[in-house]
Amino acid sequence: MLIRIITLRFSAARDGFDDSMLTDFIKDKSVVSLREHFFIRNETPYLAVVVIYEPVQEALKATKEGGRQRQKDESWRALLNDEDMPLFDSLRSWRSERCKKEGIPPYVICNNRELAMIVAARPQNLTGLLQLEGFGKAKAEKYGEDMLALLKDNDG
């Protein structure tokens, strides 16, 4: 496993963080986890993203035209069944709205695999959420109550 730290500066013009450097970096990597750290320096907001990754040996696959494109990781789907998809979609919609409000990319809140793990495990409290891979204290405190409320709303 390898680690890379990428610092993103807040852009007032974009009303968010320009994540192009991050997306360019991860496009040919297998990302194991992302951790974000928000800080302010000289009155400018920054988002430092710690990327834990592995190089992808076969990140590209041939298309019908003979070209090459990035292989999309959908291994998270194996964690879910058809009955889980409405809840997964609810969490994904919540994530989309929240990241727009905060001006951050969706994967900073949770990647699809982490959302799928929430749906599969259906934790009942923050302690249960902390048991899932990718959830530390800061992420659980910031987003946990909202996610747990969605779980309760969709299960009840």
Calculated CA dihedral for residues 4, 10, 14, 20, nearest 10 degrees? -10
**pLDDT tens column, 94-150:** 998 998 888 888 888 888 889 998 999 999 999 999 998 888 888 888 999 999 998
Tell me if 62 is assigned to some domain.
no
81 and 49 co-located in one domain: no
Segments forming the whole domain that contains residue 9: 1-56
Q: Is residue 154 part of a domain?
A: yes
Q: Is residue 68 part of a domain?
A: no
**SS3 label, residue 145:** helix
Quick check: is 87 in a domain?
yes
Non-local (6+) Cβ contacts of 40 within 8 A are: 46
16 and 84 together in one domain: no
- Indicate whether this model's pTM tops 0.75: no
Q: Identify the band that residue 64 occupies on the pLDDT scale cut at 50, 70 and 90.
A: very low
Q: Which pLDDT value is given to residue 59?
A: 38
Domain count of the fold of the chain: 2
Find out whether 119 and 87 touch, Cβ atoms under 8 Å.
yes
Q: Beta-carbon neighbour count of residue 8 at 10 Å?
A: 21
Question: Is residue 52 domain-shared with residue 78, that is, in the same domain?
Answer: no
CATH, residue 130: 1.10.150.80
My answer on whether 95 and 32 are in the same domain is no
- Sign of the alpha-carbon dihedral angle for 117, 133, 135, 54: negative
Does 50 share its domain with 99? no
Give alpha helix (H) positions in 34-111.
85-102, 106-109
Residues 45 and 90 in one domain: no
